[in-house]
Amino acid sequence: MVALMAMFAFTAQAQEELMKFGDFESWITRTIKESGIIGGKTKKLVEVGPTMNYQQKVYHNQGGSPWATSNIYAHVSGISKTNTSVYKDTHNSGTCVKLKTHVEGVKVLGIVNIHVIAAGSIFTGEMKEPITSSSNPFRYLNLGIPFTKRPKAVKFDYKVHLSDSACVRMTGFSRKKVMTYKDYPDVQCVLQKRWEDEDGNIHALRVGTLIHRFTTATKGWHEGSSFEIHYGDITGESFYRDYMGLITGDATMYATNSAGKQVKILEEGWAAPDETPTHLILKFNSSCCGAYIGSPGNTLWLDNVKLVY
């Protein structure tokens, strides 16, 4: 009887696959000196991957890590600047990742103040550094990794802090605007079937969808929580919300085509429920409202990210 129970326990465990570096126990450290015109501070940024010190300013994923972050190096008009919104933190006896929405400030020559909202994000794919412009930040994301499996759910440990601050829009070049809606951390798992046409455009059908917003704070960690992935067209389901729909308009995502060019992912429809995907986008955010919009202080902690089969 004991042997039989052990066999069932092994089978259940085998149905869970830890994402590479998804236990957040190893970290890459980047050290970047910002330009003197904005203060010349030396900043430390972390990335998810094998333990190492990364010596170059422009970051490329290391050790086969599928994860990129919103910790970035920007070089705009000859000025070097960084942003940190993803942090290493502690969980139980190990480490985890912390994503936080904050106001990033830049003071030029000690006089000109520029402030933007920066959200914390980690996602499967790459960040195409250096960032050379503040317009359309999505075009620097190479979203998704090749993937042909059909998981049932995403499982992870998490903790949520919701800020009392209003959701605001701050781009650095316009007045702060208070939004009429609320901002929440979220998880997005989008499975796509992609193909590239002769002109280098990337087309996609939506195969699987998991988009969950964390609308309540937690008192502590929620360990081993599973969130179901739904396949096919979900627009008629009772759980469907507008933000779960196809990616269009301002929320357009980008990927790198076979020529090395950043192009929009043209998500053109829903795939059949039994379709096999070609790519996985798994993204965790401290804010769900898009670029330069969020509630400063919103924080999401994550650990032990797994796919369940």
Taking the whole predicted model, whether its pTM rises above 0.85 is answered as yes
What's the burial of 85, exposed, middle or buried (CB within 10 Å: 0-12/13-18/19+)? buried
Q: Is the pLDDT of residue 4 over 50?
A: no
Local confidence band at 112 (pLDDT 50, 70, 90 cut-offs): low
Residue-level pLDDT at 8: 42
Nearest residue to 134 (alpha-carbon basis) of 122, 121, 120, 117: 117
162-171, 173-182, 267-276, 290-299: least confident range: 173-182
**The residue type at 93:** S
CB atoms inside a 10 Å sphere around CB 284: 25
What residues does each domain of the chain span? 14-308
Query: Residue 240: what are its φ and ψ, rounded to 5°?
Result: -65, 135
The residues, ordered by sequence, that sit 6+ positions from 296 with a Cβ below 8 Å of its Cβ are 101, 102, 103, 117, 163, 165, 168
Strand partners, 267: 204
CB atoms inside a 10 Å sphere around CB 165: 15
d(CA 197, CA 20): 31
Bigger pLDDT: 248 vs 296: 296
* Residue 118 exposure: Cα atoms within 13 Å on the Cβ side: 21
Q: Are the C-beta atoms of residues 126 and 71 closer than 8 Å to each other?
A: no
Written as six digits, the tokens of 302 are: 């994550």
The mean pLDDT value of the chain amounts to 92
- CA 218, distance to chain mean position in Å, is 21
Local confidence band at 113 (pLDDT 50, 70, 90 cut-offs): low
d(CA 103, CA 188): 23
pLDDT, tens digit, for every residue of 224-235? 999 999 999 999
Mean pLDDT of 173-199: 95
What's the burial of 143, exposed, middle or buried (CB within 10 Å: 0-12/13-18/19+)? buried
Residue-level pLDDT at 138: 87
Question: CATH assignment of 14-308?
Answer: 2.60.120
Written as six digits, the tokens of 259 are: 């020529």
Nearest residue to 51 (alpha-carbon basis) of 23, 85, 16: 23
Long-range contacts of residues 21-24, Cβ cutoff 8 Å, at least 24 apart: 21/48, 21/49, 21/50, 21/63, 21/65, 21/66, 21/67, 22/156, 22/304, 22/305, 22/306, 23/94, 23/303, 23/304, 24/48, 24/88, 24/94, 24/95, 24/96, 24/97, 24/302, 24/303, 24/304
